[in-house]
Amino acid sequence: MNTLESLMYWATTLLLAGGFFLALVSIVFGKSRPFSIARLLVFLAFICLTVFGITRWVRTAHPPFVTLFESMTVSVWFVLLMFHGLRARLPQTSILLLPVSAITFLLMGWSSSLPQEASPLSVALTNTWLFIHASFATGGAAAFLIGASFSVVYLIGRARLESLQKTFAVLPDYNLLPKSILNFLIFGLILWGVMIVSGSIWAHVAWGRYWAWDPIELWSLISWLLYGLLLHTRLTFRLPQRLFCWLTILAALTVTFSLWGVQYVYETIHSYG
Amino acid sequence: MAFFLIAILLVLVVLSALVPQKDVAQDRILDWEEFLGDGYVVIEKTGLDQIYSSPLFFLVLGLLAINLAAGNLKRIKLVFRAEKPLVKARHLGMIIFHLALLLIIAGVILNYLFRFHGVFGLTEGQTARDTEQKYFRIFAGPLYPGQFGRFAIELAGVDPVYETAGARTAAAEITLRPAIQETPITDTILINHPLAWRGLEFHFGSKTGLSPEVLVTDTSGQQIFRSFVRLSTRRVEDRTLSSDFVIIPSKNLKINVEVQSADEAIDSAVFVVAVEQAHVIVYQGTLTPVDTVAFGGLRLTIPRLRRWCYVDVVENQFLNLVFIGFWTALAGLVIGFVPRLISRRKQ
């Protein structure tokens, strides 16, 4: 990493840590000022990460999807983009700041333990499909993580959320939270599905087979089926909402494993970089 | 119904992630066999190691396709019932998206049934005809009509450090000679760049390596064995091993050849050779091309050194359904979501 990248990367991590800490303080002690500062810090973290991504893209001359480190930071960027986009449209979703800052800070922490140097592009990756496939993968993961964040807010409970009403001018309608969770899961399911199919087309072009049951392909399919099943349990069988929320959080872990955990356990041709 | 089908599919796929599958994870199967011993028979008898080709797997996929089709019929009614054009467009988008999923599933199933994937293991300068026996391995669908004799393929050369788009990779130059009198086609194939010819695709295979020619003669110079061996690289604990062996039954000999140099450079290749006769090592040492070693009245030499690689011949007649399905699904999403965004803006 060059100096600017390094600066932006660590600024993002620290800003997210600060944002999470202040959001937690604000919710635990019922104070609104720390929350406003936390919101600003997380927005600044998004700006810093954007600068980091652009700088790295320009320097390496390829989109920053190639290494595990890059994939993780791009996913954090997508989560922050969705969060800020959502907050701009619906200010009452600001409460998501707490889970979003926690998730993104954890991912940045994980990424800091990985090799951070840019890797030269392997031939399999010199393909337009890299951009399509990886964008949908990280975008899909971000949608699932935002869905899980809504679940965390739901699990805070109606009473607690209403008690926070005094602190925060606007809070999401507790009754509308289930719909928001569903919307993000459906959005994520679509993005993840497109990722799987675009990946199979790319695999055909690169290796001559569109599906080889490679561990990453397999776990991506498991995540997709799990979310499909979850949506059906909620829509068709009216699964209790709290249980559904816990399951969406667990399902988010399978997505995390599919994207970044598989290569710790299996040998896969999908190794990054 | 969809719930139960997805649940069964999920259970099958999770099982396949835990239990190594034949033709997919051969190394892990060996580990499991070693770990479970006789208990591995249970896995074989229950078919847990062949889930992807089990009838249940395809039955579930087929039923899911039927379920999707039935679901679409319901959605068609919604299009006709909707009064607002934006709502109509939204339902139409979802129908297109689900039809695209159907196309993808149909493409996958038809491909599986009619697919042909043959793997040639070729040494530089070698020519092989498209006959069933000449393939190193064939993965053919149950309904593949079994067409052969379409071409002969020659491996002209392998470049282990081919440069393309700023990256280095291995590449192979192949020449195709169609069965009937036609002009041969020569092309360089590598990852992302297969040669397409009459519905067939020729892909650079997953493995490549050095191919020393092993010549065994007796003391009078009489040839006993002569053939190229293909050293294939695999990970053994912490090191990379590139080796192969030949067996000469008439002399009860087994000759193990392993390349010593890590980078497999052809000019500086040094081989570690171990010769076993009736399970007793009669010679062990290093050998460079053209050198000769003698043992038990025999001479061993490596007169020529070449490279080898796999060339995958793939025929996926129905893959276009998956491609069309993918782009149709994206079109469906655009048609379905844009009206939603417009209607929100109007509100």
Chain mean pLDDT for chain A = 89
Length of chain B: 347
Report chain A residues whose CB lies below 8 A from the CB of B333.
Answer: 190, 194
Report chain A residues whose CB lies below 8 A from the CB of B330.
Answer: 194
Per-residue pLDDT for A114 more than 80? yes
CB contact under 8 A, B166 and A121: yes
Query: Is B228 part of any domain?
Result: yes
Is residue B151 domain-shared with residue B172, that is, in the same domain? Answer: yes
Is residue B198 domain-shared with residue B219, that is, in the same domain? Answer: no
Cα–Cα distance for residue pair A229/B187, rounded to 1 Å: 47
Residue whose structure tokens are 């004799």: B149
Decide: B301 and B215 in contact? Cβ < 8 Å. Answer: yes
Shortest CA distance from A194: residue in chain B: B326
Shortest CA distance from B205: residue in chain A: A207
Per-residue pLDDT for A109 more than 90? yes
| Predicted confidence band of residue B12 (pLDDT cuts 50, 70, 90) | very high
Query: Is B204 part of any domain?
Result: yes
Q: DSSP states of B117-160 as a string?
A: EEEEEEETT-EEES-GGG-SEEEE-TT------SEEEEEEEEEE
Encoding tokens for residue B245? 């062996």
- Burial label for A105, CB within 10 Å (0-12, 13-18, 19+), is buried
Is residue B216 domain-shared with residue B287, that is, in the same domain? Answer: yes
Cα–Cα distance for residue pair A53/B296, rounded to 1 Å: 66
Cα–Cα distance for residue pair B298/B222, rounded to 1 Å: 10
Query: Is B8 part of any domain?
Result: no
Is residue B220 domain-shared with residue B193, that is, in the same domain? Answer: no
Shortest CA distance from B111: residue in chain A: A210
Q: State the nearest Cα–Cα gap between B211 and chain A, in angstroms.
A: 23
**pLDDT per position as a tens digit, A36-65:** 899 999 999 999 999 999 999 999 888 888
Encoding tokens for residue B337? 């979501």
* Residues of chain A numbered 59-98 and touching chain B (CB < 8 Å): 61
**pLDDT per position as a tens digit, A168-217:** 767 788 888 888 899 899 889 889 988 998 888 888 888 877 787 888 99
Residue-number span of the structural domain to which B302 is assigned: 209-307
Shortest CA distance from B16: residue in chain A: A218
CB contact under 8 A, B319 and A197: no
Is residue B188 domain-shared with residue B232, that is, in the same domain? Answer: no
Per-residue pLDDT for B35 more than 90? no
Is residue B213 domain-shared with residue B185, that is, in the same domain? Answer: no
Query: Is B33 part of any domain?
Result: no
Report chain B residues whose CB lies below 8 A from the CB of A207.
Answer: 191, 203, 206
Query: Is B71 part of any domain?
Result: no
- State percent of chain B over pLDDT 70: 93
pLDDT, residue B264, reads: 60
Decide: B116 and B144 in contact? Cβ < 8 Å. Answer: yes
Instruction: Classify A120 as helix, strand or coil.
Output: coil
- Of A256-265, B9-18, B194-203, B338-347, the range with the lowest mean pLDDT is B338-347
Per-residue pLDDT for B27 more than 90? no
Report chain B residues whose CB lies below 8 A from the CB of A258.
Answer: none
Report chain A residues whose CB lies below 8 A from the CB of B319.
Answer: 204, 210
* Residues of chain A numbered 191-250 and touching chain B (CB < 8 Å): 193-194, 197-198, 200-201, 204-213, 215, 218-219, 221-222, 225-226, 228-229, 232-233, 236-237
Is residue B224 domain-shared with residue B195, that is, in the same domain? Answer: no
Q: State the nearest Cα–Cα gap between B294 and chain A, in angstroms.
A: 42
Decide: B129 and B152 in contact? Cβ < 8 Å. Answer: yes
**pLDDT per position as a tens digit, A205-255:** 888 777 878 889 999 999 999 998 998 888 888 889 999 999 999 999 999
| Predicted confidence band of residue B312 (pLDDT cuts 50, 70, 90) | very high
* pLDDT: which is higher, A2 or B263: A2
| Predicted confidence band of residue B319 (pLDDT cuts 50, 70, 90) | confident
Classify strands B253-259 and B298-301 as parallel, antiparallel or unpaired. unpaired
Q: Residue B208: enclosing H or E segment and its boundaries?
A: strand B200-218
CB–CB contacts below 8 A, A to B: 98
pLDDT, residue A271, reads: 64
Decide: B336 and B90 in contact? Cβ < 8 Å. Answer: yes
pLDDT, residue B22, reads: 79
The runs of H, that is alpha helices, within A93-214 are 97-112, 128-156, 158-163, 177-207
Query: Is B300 part of any domain?
Result: yes
Per-residue pLDDT for B313 more than 60? yes
Our count of domains for chain B comes to: 2
Is residue B242 domain-shared with residue B290, that is, in the same domain? Answer: yes
Is residue B175 domain-shared with residue B252, that is, in the same domain? Answer: no
Report chain B residues whose CB lies below 8 A from the CB of A204.
Answer: 316, 319
Cα–Cα distance for residue pair B24/B51, rounded to 1 Å: 11
| Predicted confidence band of residue A258 (pLDDT cuts 50, 70, 90) | very high
Residue whose structure tokens are 């959001």: A23
* Residues of chain A numbered 182-201 and touching chain B (CB < 8 Å): 190, 193-194, 197-198, 200-201
**pLDDT per position as a tens digit, B37-90:** 888 888 888 888 888 888 888 889 889 888 888 888 887 888 888 888 888 888
CB contact under 8 A, B314 and A209: yes
Is residue B160 domain-shared with residue B215, that is, in the same domain? Answer: no
Length of chain A: 273
CB contact under 8 A, B3 and A237: yes
pLDDT, residue A100, reads: 95
Interhelix angle A128-156/A97-112, rounded to 10 degrees, is 130
CA atoms within 13 A on the CB side of B92: 14
Query: Is B85 part of any domain?
Result: no
Dihedral angle computed from the Cα positions of residues B122, B123, B124 and B125, in that order, rounded to the nearest 10 degrees: -80
Query: Is B220 part of any domain?
Result: yes
Per-residue pLDDT for B237 more than 70? no
Per-residue pLDDT for B292 more than 60? yes
Cα–Cα distance for residue pair B314/A209, rounded to 1 Å: 8
Q: State the nearest Cα–Cα gap between A210 and chain B, in angstroms.
A: 9
CB contact under 8 A, B13 and A225: yes
Per-residue pLDDT for B346 more than 80? no
Please state, in angstroms and as integers, the Cα–Cα distance from residue A145 to each residue in A186, A264, A267, B243, following that order.
12, 21, 26, 46
